[in-house]
Structure 1
């Protein structure tokens, strides 16, 4: 269907069902004893919050996660199961983040930003390292982008290990803040209406943007309907659960504007997560299958 040799990096099989756990473990492992005693707090649409909650659970650190009121219930339950205090606040991620930042100052907690954290990016970078260890001749990696930790991490690894490697970021056209900021060369805010919460943010993050502006090969947008089509296809073909954000790289690879540059090449798709809600799963499976 893609016309390329395609490898899928199954980050949906990570302990939290998403790649971000790599960053959460790395960051929490490096906190000093006093910070661990006081605890950490973060804002998330789900997978980042799970990563911080998982790392905090491993190292006995109190964790608080602020999520939007309509956050994916699968992800919210998982965070609570890991022992995190989950606070549902605001209609969208940016409102939850603003509340989180205020609460961090009020309680004296270590605020873990969803993107502007070198230790998060360093942890996530191990995903691309593993891709290149298994398939050192990969030509292109496609990575879903919300805040950009995954794509910026891939860029750093590519620059050191395989400079010819192309890294392409993929974001929903209904939440294009990171994409538009990268294109504009400055931080911009945009409407945030995608139903794929793994790529949902209304504003870009400074550190990932700085890295991506220097090293990212290209950045593309896909429609939410194409995310659902790709979700169904990945579930059927890989026999694993995939959330819409995790299917974003495949949606881009199937896009007529992107597919020609991939033909005949070696392509890695980072399947970033499996934390799909029952409602999302039903919608994806009801979506017409793509033509072969």
Structure 2
């Protein structure tokens, strides 16, 4: 049964690992000498792009859906997404036999939309951006009796996605810095929760898009801030903050870096060339930040959370300079 909205604890993460282990194996944490040479550091990449949906959020979706009551499963769920969260909910809903309605912005990444539909979700296009889609969810919740799932302010989602950092530190406990993308903030909040519990000396670096700075501004001000969205990195395109993960970031996050779209596309290309792996722009953001902070990572053991690999053909063309 889903409890009242309270910030997750490390114990919740340990419980989530047991829930998720029944459905997902751990993702690889690979070391790439060519990235070492590029950054003059020891670099590990956490391959969340190897998840069934190609993104880390499936961890949270499974943990959330496993805790629904029988009545909530009967009613079904509704959520808003720019792509990966929606895939997560669609995948987990199919796994547990739950109706899922996903509201996406007009012009959402077709790769992600097709994947949501393939998992059996009903996709509704509404609004110019994520914030408009989120508002429409509340209408559907009232009209159809669906259970609304916030993509950020859900403790079970945060505890679920936090298991990626638990796996990193179980495999490489000597990691000194972890770079994590920040869209809604659940993945970064989870990373903070785990890293600071196991070793407070580990630095956690959040990475956002310069074209969607709401999460950064909120973290910086320790107060809610909104901002326009002008980034092509859909996974980072959040115009208003989620305050549950933000509260965790306020307490534990060491630094927050904004990167330009061009830097993310360049990092996508580096991943293709040096690691033979596909990252979407948000998934490449941690590498972009590490490249920007090259002087700070020299000689350190760092982990980059490659959060997703659901790149569209247009995004691939941009990273390869074929536009």
Fold in common (TM above 0.5): yes
Of 127, 152, 156, which residue of structure 2 is paired with 1:115? 152
Q: Which residue in 2 is equivalent to 1:171? A: 208
Task: Write out aligned runs for 1:69-148 (5 A).
Answer: 69-148=106-185
Match for residue 28 of structure 2? none
Any idea what SS the aligned residue of 1:95 has? helix
Is 1:238–2:275 an aligned residue pair? Answer: yes
Alignment of 1:260 onto 2:295: yes
Matched with 1:46 is: 83
| Equivalent runs, 1:21-32 vs 2, <5 Å | 21-32=58-69
User: Is 1:15 aligned with 2:46?
Assistant: no
Query: Does the residue aligned with 2:218 lie in a helix, a strand or coil?
Result: helix
Distance 1:187 1:246 in 2: 25
Which whole-Å CA distance do the structure 2 matches of 1:236 and 1:43 have between them?
Answer: 34
Residue 287 of structure 1 and its aligned partner are, at CA, apart by: 7.3
Secondary structure, in 3 states, of the residue corresponding to 2:54?
Answer: coil
Shift of 1:240: 1.8
**SS of the counterpart of 2:151?**
coil
Partner of 2:320: 285
Q: Please list the CA deviations of residues 185-211 of structure 1 after superposition, one character each: whole Å capped at 9, or x if unmatched.
A: 101100111001011110110101001
From 242, 255, 272, give the equivalent of 2:307: 272
SS for the counterpart of 1:273 is: coil
The SS at the match of 1:64 is: strand
Runs of 4+ in structure 1 off by over 2 angstroms are: none
- CA shift, 1:248, in A, is 0.2
Structure 1: gaps spanning 5 or more residues = none
Relative to the length of structure 2, the TM-score reads: 0.87
CA distance in 2, matches of 1:6, 1:105: 47
CA offset at residue 271 of structure 1?
A: 0.2
| Distance of 1:62 and 1:184 partners within structure 2 | 39
Q: State the alpha-carbon separation in 2 of the partners of residues 235 and 148 from structure 1.
A: 26
What is the count of residue pairs matched by the alignment?
A: 286
Higher mean C-alpha deviation, range 68-77 or range 97-106: 97-106
Residue by residue over 1:37-87, the C-alpha shift from the partner in whole angstroms, topping out at 9 and shown as x without a partner, is 110110000000000111100000000000000100000000000000000
Distance (whole Å) between structure 1 residues aligned to residue 117 and residue 274 of structure 2: 32
How far, CA to CA, are the matches of 1:16 and 1:116 in structure 2?
21
Q: Give, in angstroms, the shift of residue 174 of structure 1.
A: 0.3
> How far apart are residue 111 of structure 1 and its match?
0.5
